């Protein structure tokens, strides 16, 4: 399996090279698959920095920067933020973190995101974690959690499942063909799921380099 050590290091906005060759793990899973909880566990146990594309976009909007205003306007108009914009935010966050191990959560959302990320950064993920969960279970979890999310109603939930399947499954298939996907049965209780995650990240497994 190709490792991140084989690819070029990322550049920051000033063009200077980062000497670290970062380890990138993409984290994918449907809404309610529990990937957020598992990301927290990975950070705590294995020292990764967690980057969420959605959080970075929201933070940029909140900052009031010119870039943030452009992002906000695009979202208001129902347009998709260009991949390059999201990737530059991810790249900048990687630079600023000082770490060399990253969990990128909920990205790439589709094949175009994936191709753009590799083209812009020169980085391929070492592993793609796919939290595979039955739709009925994800539905049950989303409806029962109390986070005050207005989008957690049955109709919206089903639309989100459909979008996830249509957009993300091709990404998972692509990385499966490269032997990078680690599929985890996320229907089980949190502790059992994390046991499977630990087996992937533990140094003895040699699966994440």
Smallest CA-to-CA distance from 131 within 178, 172, 85, 83 is with 172
Binding-site residues for a ribonucleoside 5'-phosphate sit at 58, 79-81, 106-109, 149, 160
Chain center to CA of 111:
13
Q: Output the tens digit of pLDDT for each of the chain's 209 residues.
A: 333 333 334 444 433 334 568 899 999 988 888 888 899 999 999 999 999 988 899 999 999 888 899 999 888 887 778 899 999 999 999 999 989 999 999 899 899 999 999 999 999 999 999 999 888 888 888 888 755 555 557 777 788 888 888 888 899 999 999 999 999 999 898 899 999 999 998 865 455 55
Q: Quick one: pLDDT at residue 155?
A: 77
Smallest CA-to-CA distance from 87 within 66, 104, 70 is with 104
Quick check: 45 and 57 in contact, CB under 8 A? no
Domain 33-198 -> CATH class = alpha beta
Binding-site residues for ATP sit at 32-37, 145, 188
Dist. CA 83–CA 73, nearest whole Å: 16
Q: Quick one: pLDDT at residue 67?
A: 87
- The torsion defined by the Cα of 111, 117, 123 and 129, in degrees rounded to 10, comes to -50
Binding-site residues for CMP sit at 113
**Using CA of residue 1, residue 178, residue 123, residue 86, what is the dihedral sign?**
negative
pTM of the shown model: 0.79
Dist. CA 30–CA 162, nearest whole Å: 9
Binding-site residues sit at 32-37, 58, 79-81, 106-109, 113, 145, 149, 160, 188
Smallest CA-to-CA distance from 36 within 133, 127, 101 is with 133
Q: Quick one: pLDDT at residue 6?
A: 34
Smallest CA-to-CA distance from 89 within 139, 115, 53 is with 53
Domain boundaries, the chain: 33-198
């Amino acid at each position: 399996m190709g490792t991140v050590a084989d690819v070029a290091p990322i550049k920051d906005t000033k063009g200077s090279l980062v000497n670290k060759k970062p380890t990138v793990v993409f984290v994918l899973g449907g809404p309610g698959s529990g990937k957020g909880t598992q990301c927290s566990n990975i950070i705590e146990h294995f020292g990764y920095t967690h980057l969420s594309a959605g959080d970075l976009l929201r933070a940029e909007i909140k900052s009031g920067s010119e870039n943030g205003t452009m992002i906000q306007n695009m979202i208001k108009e129902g347009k998709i933020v260009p991949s390059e914009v999201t990737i530059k935010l991810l790249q900048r966050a990687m630079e600023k973190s000082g770490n060399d191990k990253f969990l990128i959560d909920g990205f790439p959302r589709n094949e175009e995101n994936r191709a753009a990320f590799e083209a812009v950064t020169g980085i391929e993920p070492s592993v793609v974690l796919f939290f595979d969960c039955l739709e009925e279970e994800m539905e049950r979890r989303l409806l029962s959690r109390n986070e005050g999310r207005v989008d957690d109603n049955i109709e919206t939930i089903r639309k989100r499942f459909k979008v996830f399947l249509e957009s993300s499954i091709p990404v998972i298939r692509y990385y499966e063909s490269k032997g990078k996907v680690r599929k985890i049965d996320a229907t089980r209780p949190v502790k059992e799921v994390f046991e499977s995650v630990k087996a992937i990240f533990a140094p003895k497994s040699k699966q994440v380099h």
